[in-house]
Amino acid sequence: MEMIFSTLRDLQDILSEKIKLEQDMLEIPKMLTTQTELLARMKRSFIEKNQEYERTKNAEAEFRTQLLDAESKREKAEKNMENISTQREYEALDKEIDDASMKEQEFRNKLQKELRLISDLDEEIKQSQALIEQQEAELDEQRKVIESEIEKKNKQIKALTDKEEQISIDVDPDVLFKFERIIRNKMGKGIVAIKGGVCLGCHMILPAQFANSVRTGEEIIFCPYCSRILFYEESEQGDEEFFFEDDAGSLSDLDDIEDEDYTDDDEEDERTNIDYDD
């Protein structure tokens, strides 16, 4: 079994590195999120400015038409001044000329305002377009960098997968499947030592009989608390105080969480059939 444990420890290093690379690859595209959202906002703003520009152009054309109409009315009234014969006609034409002049000035002011707005919008649109083109270029460059990085990591994952297949050829496929899931769920640690009767993965004290089973190393045993595969490691103080059969009850809290109707067979099933979805 020592050879199997050694293989599992080597696999642990490979799988941990492989899983980290896979996680990195999931995070890489997120680097583009901010830039992509910024570009989207810039394009929305560009569209809105163009729409406002078109509305302003229409308003400018309308005010220009109204100004020409007011100028025409004033000029016509001024020309009619030459043909008046009464004071009443003079007063009526004079009022018409004043009204037309006021309208003319009003439309001229509005027209000038729209022309200034058109000029400002035109400049803003040009600047927005330049910024969008710059952002798109930067985004394309960033995509190329990311594609290169993903390709590099894919090659690393492929090399690790090949290595994994080579050294895991003698490992039971079911154990291998469970082992990989444990590593994914337990921060890269799938096989840990039991030292002094304590699992070094979850730091829980294990029953003496259970710890002795791990110590014999006759089979692959999973921690009933954290699901990791266990192997024996000599304690610096020695294991005598932890491995006396009579001390099992004081060394474990397992009995407090197990159903009182569990049989010995049920306990054995609980040790081996662990919920790996934890």
Tell me the pLDDT tens digit for each residue of 206-252.
999 999 999 988 889 999 999 999 998 876 655 444 444 444 333 33
pLDDT 10s digits, 44-83: 999 999 999 999 999 999 999 999 999 998 898 888 888 8
Residue 27's pLDDT is what? 86
Same domain for 196 and 131? Answer: no
Same domain for 145 and 77? Answer: yes
| Count of domains for the chain | 2
**Domain stops at, among 120, 135, 166:** 166
Q: Is 197 exposed, middle or buried (0-12, 13-18, 19+ CB in 10 A)?
A: buried
> Using an 8 Å Cβ cutoff, are 145 and 152 in contact?
no
Question: Does residue 260 carry a pLDDT above 50?
Answer: no
Report yes or no on 193 lying in a domain: yes
Q: How far apart are CA 72 and CA 70, in angstroms?
A: 5
Same domain for 156 and 234? Answer: no
Report yes or no on 16 lying in a domain: no
**pLDDT, averaged across the chain:** 83
Task: Report the DSSP beta bridge partners of residue 195.
Answer: 198
Name the phi and psi angles at 230, rounded to 5. -110, 145
Report yes or no on 128 lying in a domain: yes
**Domain containing residue 150:** 26-166
Residue 186's pLDDT is what? 81
Helix ranges restricted to H, the chain: 2-27, 33-80, 87-167, 173-185, 208-216, 248-251, 254-257, 264-272
Report yes or no on 96 lying in a domain: yes
CATH number for the domain harbouring residue 42: 1.10.287.1490
Decide: helix, strand or coil at residue 81: helix
Same domain for 100 and 139? Answer: yes
Report yes or no on 277 lying in a domain: no
Report yes or no on 1 lying in a domain: no
Same domain for 156 and 43? Answer: yes
> Using an 8 Å Cβ cutoff, are 50 and 125 in contact?
yes
Q: Measure CA 133 to chain center.
A: 25
pLDDT 10s digits, 111-122: 999 999 999 999
Same domain for 108 and 133? Answer: yes
Q: Per mean pLDDT, which range of 101-105, 178-182, 187-191 is the poorest?
A: 187-191
Same domain for 159 and 201? Answer: no
Same domain for 33 and 156? Answer: yes
pLDDT 10s digits, 128-156: 999 999 999 999 999 999 899 999 999 99
Same domain for 158 and 191? Answer: no
**Domain stops at, among 115, 150, 166:** 166
Tell me the pTM. 0.55
**Domain stops at, among 141, 166, 191:** 166
Q: Mean pLDDT across the stretch 77-103?
A: 88
Same domain for 137 and 190? Answer: no
